[in-house]
Every structure is written in C-alpha cells, then in structure tokens.
Structure 1
C-alpha cells in the first residue's frame, strides 16, 4: 500500500490561526499535529511590521507554539526578491523593524541618497516627510517596491489605512505603480516554497481571503483551503470567478487529518 502524501502547509495567520490576538479554536492542535508528524509548514502574513521573532512571541501569548523559522512575512519575501534582483543594493524604506531588519540581513544599505529602490511597508506612523521623500526619490529614478497591496488593516477601533492605500497616494503623485511582492502575488508563495525546498504539487495554502490567500495559492499551483473564521463568507466566496479546493468552517476540521486534507 502506498504511503500517504506528506503535505506541506502554508497558512495565513490572522483569520486562520488567530483573530484579534485570540487563538482560533483548533489552531494549537493543528500546529502540534504538524510538528509531531513532521509536516513542513510556514505561517504567512502580509504584515511587514514585525520580525519573525516578534510574531513568534505574539503567537506564543495566544497559545500557539510556532518556531521562528516557520514564520514567513511579506518583509522577508521582499528582501529575498530584492536580493535576487540587485544584490547588495540600497533602499529608502518606509516601514518598521520587520522590514528594515530583513533588508539589513541581506546586506542592503538604507539611505535617502540616490537609492536603488524606494521600499514601502506597513507602519503605524506614516510620516508626511517620509512620503514626500519617497515621491521625490521615485521621480529621480528610484524603483518603487511595496511589501503588499492591502488597502486597510484591522484594529480594535476599526479599519486602519495600510500599505496599499499609501502606495496609491505615492503612485498618484509620481505616476509610477509599485511592484507588490506580498499576496496575491504568487511570488510570495513561491519564495515560501523555495525556503522550505517544497514542491507545489504537495503543498496547500490555507487562508481566510479569496482575493489574496486563495488567489495567490491558485496562481502558484497549490491546492487551497478557505476557512470561514476571517474575512470571507460562503456568499462572498461565490462571487469570485475561481474556487478554493475546499471550504471548511475552521482549521479545527483538519485536526487528525493533516495527511488527508482533501477527503473524497
């Protein structure tokens, strides 16, 4: 009898494993089972504010034990992309420690003097001065990169403007559209696969958003699972021209079945 396929799991973080700093029931059991069975996995996030170490601590407070190397952010994907395009380059960065640390680790110089790139990431303190500097550097020839296209982010008080909104402002001012590295760009998935040394044929993507998680998974050739613990509902999912491989209420349905996530 053939051995069951050993699936590699890529999982979005917010809306899949946690929701507003609270553990989604079953998420801890899923991570425990994946680690016990030796399935490779990465927890993905489009948020570029935090380093993997920061995110590990945040997840640990909710009850999730996710190793630091098992966390993949749009900041890491952006750094990997820039390293492949222009090694040892320079960048003017609008962002937080997650992004600046990732760029420093690939040997990039952060500067506002004739940089190769303007790199826009997530921050809670967008500065008019920094945005103005970014606009002028792009006008002078710097290439425009953004970590992700998310227009808004969640908070306890409601929506916050996110990278995509500020990118639109800079694009309007310069006439230059940024290259977005994070989801739904399948580059985010492919960089995650390369980091694990995994293959698309045996990898699945779990997410709560059709427009980013499911789309990027499909475009990277992965099987996809939509969970209903975040943004998407059965009704909103039906409005898209593409479908996930499976729809489940939450990741709790995968517990006990990590080697058979697509029964039937």
Structure 2
C-alpha cells in the first residue's frame, strides 16, 4: 500500500463535478462551503476558455455556488501564463471569446492578424470560416500554433458541438502543423495551478469527471485523483483506460466528510 500525505489542497473540475447543464450537483455547495470554512486552499479548473473568471463566478452564483474569482483557473489563463513565460509582450492572432482575449490583454499581448508571434485557438460558439482560413494561412507562413485545450466536442441542449480540438484538427490537416495544447490533460496547466495555490502535488487531490482530461492530468502532475460519476465518464468505461483514478465516487457529496 502506498502511504499518502494528508490532503492540504483541492482542485476540482467544474462541469460534471460541481454543475451539470446549469444546475448544481447535490453536495457541491456543501463541499465548497466546508473548504472555505476550514481555510483549505482550492481551485476550480475548466478547459473552457470562453468566459473570464468573473463571468464564471457570476454563472456559478446563479446556481447557488459561491466561488471566489481568484479560485477559478481556466485554460485561457493557463495559456496566457504560458505565452507570458515563453515570449513576453508578444502578439497573437486569436480565435476565441472574452475569456481568452482578456487573459492575453492582461499580460500585455497585442491581438493582431499582421505578422503575429502566435496563432492562439480557443473555444467560441461562433467559429467563422473566415477566421479559420486566416489562422490556416498564418500557421502555414510560420506562426507558432497554440490551442487552449484539446476537447473535440462540447455539450449543448441539442447535443454535442464542435470544440477547440475539432477546429484545431482542421487547421492541422490543412497546414501539417499540430498545435501545442495547454489545457488538460497537459500537466502544464496543473503545475501552473499548483503554483497559483502554492501547493505540492503530493498533498493535492484532483476531482474530475473525465478520465481522458481530469484524471490523466492529475495523474501526470503527480496528484491523487478522484473520478466522480456525475459527469461524462461512466463506471463501465473506466477499464478501457490504461490508468485508473485513485478513487471512484458517485459525486462530490461523497467527499464532503473528508474535508
């Protein structure tokens, strides 16, 4: 048996863990309240780059969840942190919405289609043929290609929607250039989150609903992982993967007493 250090910090995915289709998942409010009351550091992570942390805080409040703005870590913020480290005060052609453009402006990036340092692809509900074609031409000319996350689809009331990974595949197919994906399962996003918390992977747990992003990212960052069955991954699907979470629970309600 592996002897683990006590859990001192928590990270949780958002959709499928805390909320589902705009509704709170039972137990999520109690878990977050317990973390706040006991001053346990935590972050809510999301691969969605559409919204700013302020927007997400407002959306979560509408479901009954009180999450501080500085406790929300998005793939857009992780992408901005990466670019700021790699090429400070650079420029980028961006396909995305306010969550991504705001994060890049905040680090001093110029958003332009004239000889940018990077093409940065994020998620949007209004992908346009013109913007994708522009991104293709820029990448073909030698611009570095970065994408916020590899998720191929996203949910909607009508069914799945194409997401960043699908559009990235179009650009890659046309140019022969693959992007560098920043969001989960890249452990880069997790290490940046650990730095933000000032925590160590050995004493941090990652709670998620997707084996291919949340659990894989936590595993590769050296964290303990908890898979909740309230979101994407079904229990019958776990054995398809060559890795396993540390634990499997029905929902975050099963974790409240462990804080």
TM-score, normalising length from structure 1? 0.95
User: What's the counterpart of residue 30 of structure 2?
Assistant: 29
Aligned ranges for residues 77-226 of structure 1 at < 5 Å? 77-226=78-227
Give the equivalent residue in structure 2 for 1:18. Answer: 19
Secondary structure of the residue aligned to 2:226 is strand
Residue 123 of structure 2: SS of its match in structure 1? coil
Per the TM alignment, residue 7 of structure 1 is displaced from its structure 2 partner at its CA by 1.9
How much has 1:6 moved relative to structure 2?
A: 4.7
Paired position in structure 2 for 1:40: 41
Alignment partner of 1:93: what SS? strand
Query: Alpha-carbon deviation of 1:142?
Result: 0.6
Contact residue 7 and residue 205 of structure 2 kept, 8 A: no
Which residue does the alignment assign to 1:64? Answer: 65
| Aligned 8 A contact 2:78 2:189 in 1 | yes
Gaps of 5+ in 1: 259-264
Report the Cα offset of residue 42 of structure 1: 0.3
| SS of equivalent to 1:238 | helix
Question: Tell me, what secondary structure is at the counterpart of 1:256?
Answer: helix
Verify the 8 A CA contact 1:208 1:231 in the aligned structure 2. Answer: yes
| TM norm structure 2 | 0.97
Please say if residues 6 and 39 of structure 1, whose CA atoms lie closer than 8 Å, have aligned partners that are also in contact: no
Q: Aligned with 2:119: secondary structure?
A: strand
